[in-house]
């Protein structure tokens, strides 16, 4: 008899357009899709990058001055963690007894971040994370995450990790996730509608391949939701023929891959909204790991190793010191460098001693 029971359940990757720049409307649509998935027996549903309130496509279409017309609206419709809007999603997960992974534009103070959340089927917040480094012109809108955002969460249904878009092209970030025994990966993408025919690296072929390689390389299940660009979004953003050619409607290429890289589920036409659904069984992972575990038996840490600094970065750190006794001398104690500073002070060619 087997010694362990391996979870087996249905997962869904969303392919749809948000109610663009409308947080309330997109939350309504999110909850409807969660209900639809739950009715089909889905246990975990994953939504695209910055699904709430949509990806800021204007940054790729024209000058920053032209794009300023969207800035205030985007800020107003970005999601604050712990807000009543956030709680609506938690309540929906609890009501429909479904795990929720979704991308969103996070508003924290005066800044925005490309973020993802993981909510369990009891409505508990398992994780919120930020994209480590926004890509190219995304840096005109969003701030950065830190090493604490490269975390795989141990949950009742498996070890779940999340990354956004071109984080899947960052070899060190991927390896950090693999090394945490990731079993289910939620890889969120926007839409593969941009610069088609002019920038192959932004298209579905390359980026679906990145998701597929992630599955085979990390020997995990990959749920890769992908948004679409709706005609209404095109009408708002593409104000001339040139912009219409730069950003096409459709672009939905949601996918699910098994731990050997095999495609799972039934794919949808790129302009069709819906769910790609597949049944996964975590026991399959051991078969893939037997061939090559990149952070285990198939690694060579004596030759190459990764340094991961998971310290949460804070802009301001408040310290309170005890008051000096009257007449006492105040002596400054030596301060040891942080792990990050110590790592930066090591020259690229220096040898780092192996741990005992």
The residues carrying an active-site annotation are: 49, 131, 165
CB of 78 within 8 A of CB of 105?
yes
Nearest to 258 by CA among 207, 221, 210: 221
201's torsion region: left (phi>0), alpha (psi -120 to 50) or beta?
A: alpha
Q: How far apart are CA 355 and CA 54, in angstroms?
A: 46
148-149-154-155 Cα dihedral, nearest 10 degrees = 130
Cis peptide before 232 (omega within 30 of 0): no
Q: How far apart are the first and last CA of the chain?
A: 39
SS (H, E, C) 250-292: ECCCCEEECCCCCEECCCCCCCCCEEEEEEEECCHHHHHHHHC
Q: How far apart are CA 124 and CA 133, in angstroms?
A: 27
**Secondary structure element (H or E) that encloses residue 356, with its range:** none
Residue 118 contacts by C-beta under 8 Å, 6 or more apart in sequence?
99, 100, 101, 125, 126, 127, 128, 153, 160, 162, 186
Q: How far apart are CA 73 and CA 311, in angstroms?
A: 33
């Amino acid at each position: 008899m087997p010694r362990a029971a391996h979870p087996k359940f249905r997962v869904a990757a969303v392919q749809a357009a948000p109610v663009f720049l409308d947080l309330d409307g997109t939350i309504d649509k999110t909850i409807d899709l969660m209900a639809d998935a739950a009715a089909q027996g889905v246990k975990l549903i994953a939504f695209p990058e910055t699904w709430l309130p949509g990806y800021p496509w204007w940054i790729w279409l024209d000058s920053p001055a032209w794009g300023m017309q969207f800035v205030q609206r985007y800020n107003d419709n970005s999601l604050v963690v712990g807000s009543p809007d956030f709680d609506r999603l938690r309540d929906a997960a609890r009501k429909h007894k479904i795990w929720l992974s979704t991308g969103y534009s996070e508003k924290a103070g005066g800044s925005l971040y490309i973020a993802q959340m993981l909510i369990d089927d009891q409505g508990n917040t398992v994780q919120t994370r930020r994209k480590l480094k926004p890509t190219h012109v995304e840096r005109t809108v969003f701030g950065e995450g830190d090493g604490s955002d490269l975390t795989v969460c141990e949950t009742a249904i498996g070890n779940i990790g999340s990354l956004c878009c071109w984080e899947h092209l960052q070899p060190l970030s991927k390896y950090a996730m693999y090394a945490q025994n990731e079993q289910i990966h939620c890889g969120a993408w926007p839409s593969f509608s941009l610069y088609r025919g002019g920038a192959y690296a932004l298209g579905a072929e390359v980026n679906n391949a990145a998701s597929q390689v992630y599955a085979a390389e990390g020997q995990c299940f990959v749920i890769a939701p992908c948004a679409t660009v709706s005609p209404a979004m095109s009408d708002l953003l593409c104000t001339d023929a040139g912009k219409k050619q730069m950003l096409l409607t459709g672009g939905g290429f949601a996918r699910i891959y098994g731990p050997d890289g095999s495609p799972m589920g039934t794919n949808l036409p790129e302009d069709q909204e819906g769910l790609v659904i597949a049944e996964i069984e975590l026991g399959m992972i051991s078969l893939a790991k037997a061939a090559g575990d990149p952070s285990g038996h198939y690694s060579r840490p004596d030759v190459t190793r990764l340094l991961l600094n998971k310290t949460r970065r804070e802009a301001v750190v408040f310290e309170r010191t005890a008051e000096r006794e009257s007449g006492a001398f105040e002596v400054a104690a030596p301060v040891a460098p942080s792990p990050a500073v110590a790592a930066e002070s090591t020259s690229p060619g220096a040898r780092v001693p192996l741990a005992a």
